[in-house]
Amino acid sequence: MNEKTHCGYIAIVGRPNVGKSTLLNCILGRKISITSPKPQTTRNQILGIKTQDSAQAVYIDTPGLHEAGQRAMNRYMNRLASSVIMDADVVVFMIEASRWTGEDDAVLNKLQGTKAPVILVINKVDTLKDKGQLLPLMNKLSEKFSFECIVPVSARKADNITYLEDIIAKLLPQGPHLFPEEQVTDKSIRFQVSEIIREKLIQETEQEVPYSTMVEIESYKENEKLVEINAIIWVEREGQKPIVIGQGGERLKKIGTQARKEIEKIVNQKVFLRLWVKVKDGWTDDERVFRSLDFE
C-alpha cells in the first residue's frame, strides 16, 4: 500500500454536560465514554479511535473544562484538558443550542492562541422548538472566534454527525496510523468495566452520591465459561454506604445486574460480577490517592 495515510488527534472540549461523551459514543457506534445528566461524569481522558479508509481519527474526550476549582480533582481535570488542546490537530468545541454560559466563555478563552483549527459544534439542536433560531445563532457565534466552521448537530439523535466526521477527516494531517485499524479505544477492558459500573451507580443513586465515587476492579478472571469480576465501589463517607446498598441490598443488586448485562455485551461472554462497597475517607482532596486508585 503506497496510498497516503492521514492521522490526527481531535480534542472534544466544552463545559460539562454539553454532550461530548455522547458525541464520541455516537461516532464510534459504541459506548466507550459514560454519559449522564450530571456534570463531570467523565473523569478520565478517553481515546476513541475510528479508522475509515486511509484516515484515522483519534478523538479525545476530555473531562469538562471549568473555572478553577478548590479541590485537587478539579485542578487535575483542568490541567488535563488544557494540555489536550495544545496537542490536538483539530479542536471540536461543543456548546448547547439552547444557551451560551460563562463557562462556555471560559472554554473559549482557553482556545485563544491554538494553532489547530477549531470547529464549533452546536449540540442538542433537537431541543430547539424553532429551527429558525439556528441561523441567527450561528451568525452571532461566528463573531466570537475565527472558527473553521460551525456545525449544528444532535449527538443523541445522530443528526448531522457523518457530516461533522467528513469535515474532521479533511483536516487530519498526513501521517502513519497510530493504532491498529480495529482498535476502538486506548482503555483496557478493566477500565471500561469500572466505567460501566460507575455509570449504573450514578444513574441509580441520582443526586444522593457525589461524582467523586470511584470504582476499582479488584480482580478480573477469565476462563472458557465466564468472566469473574470483583469490584469495589469506594464512597467518601460511611453515610453513603447504605445509599449505594439500598434497602436489603436492592439497589446494589440493581446496579450489579445492569452493569453485568452491559459488560457481557462488550466481552461477549457470561459475566459473574461481585460488588463491594467500601469507605475511602477524603480521597478527593488528595491527588496522590486519586492517582493511585487510577488503575489504567
Residue recorded with cell 457525589: 210
Instruction: Report the partner that residue 156 touches, choosing among Mg ion, ligand GDP, none (CB closer than 5 to 8 A by kind).
Output: ligand GDP
Residues 6+ apart with CB under 8 A from 28: 48, 49, 50, 59, 184, 185
- Give the pairing of strands 90-96 and 118-123: parallel
Residues 6+ apart with CB under 8 A from 132: none
Provide the Cα torsion 174, 177, 181, 186; round to 10°: -120
Q: Which stretch binds ligand GDP (CB under 6 A): 19-27, 184-192, 255-263, 284-292?
A: 19-27
In this structure, are residues 83 and 111 in contact, taking their beta carbons and an 8 Å threshold? no
Which residue sits closest to ligand GDP, CB atoms considered?
19
The reply to whether 48 sits near ligand GDP by the rule CB under 6 A is no
| Cα(294)–Cα(214) distance, integer angstroms | 9
Q: Distance of CA 135 to CAs 7, 14, 23, 150, 198, Å? A: 32, 21, 22, 10, 39
User: What letter represents residue 21's amino acid?
Assistant: S
* Residues that contact Mg ion, how many (by CB under 5 A): 3
Pick 27 or 168: Cβ nearer ligand GDP: 27
| Cα(177)–Cα(237) distance, integer angstroms | 45
Nearest to 13 by CA among 112, 82, 69, 100: 82
| Cα(215)–Cα(231) distance, integer angstroms | 7
Pick 58 or 77: Cβ nearer ligand GDP: 77
In this structure, what DSSP letter does residue 185 have? B
Pick 77 or 244: Cβ nearer ligand GDP: 77
CA 238 to chain CA centroid, nearest Å: 29
The reply to whether 41 sits near ligand GDP by the rule CB under 6 A is yes
Name the minimum Å distance from CB 52 to ligand GDP. 22
Name the minimum Å distance from CB 14 to ligand GDP. 6
What cell numbers appear for 54 in the block?
486511509
Name the minimum Å distance from CB 199 to ligand GDP. 10
Q: Which stretch binds ligand GDP (CB under 6 A): 46-54, 98-106, 151-159, 188-196?
A: 151-159
Among 51, 56, 78, 123, binds ligand GDP (CB under 6 A): 123
Instruction: Report the partner that residue 192 touches, choosing among Mg ion, ligand GDP, none (CB closer than 5 to 8 A by kind).
Output: none
- Report the site for ligand GDP in 155-174 (rule: CB under 6 A): 155-156
Name the minimum Å distance from CB 80 to Mg ion. 13
Instruction: Report the partner that residue 123 touches, choosing among ligand GDP, Mg ion, none (CB closer than 5 to 8 A by kind).
Output: ligand GDP
Instruction: Report the partner that residue 17 touches, choosing among ligand GDP, Mg ion, none (CB closer than 5 to 8 A by kind).
Output: ligand GDP
Residues found near ligand GDP in the complex (CB under 6 A): 14, 16-22, 35-37, 41-42, 64, 123-124, 126-127, 154-156
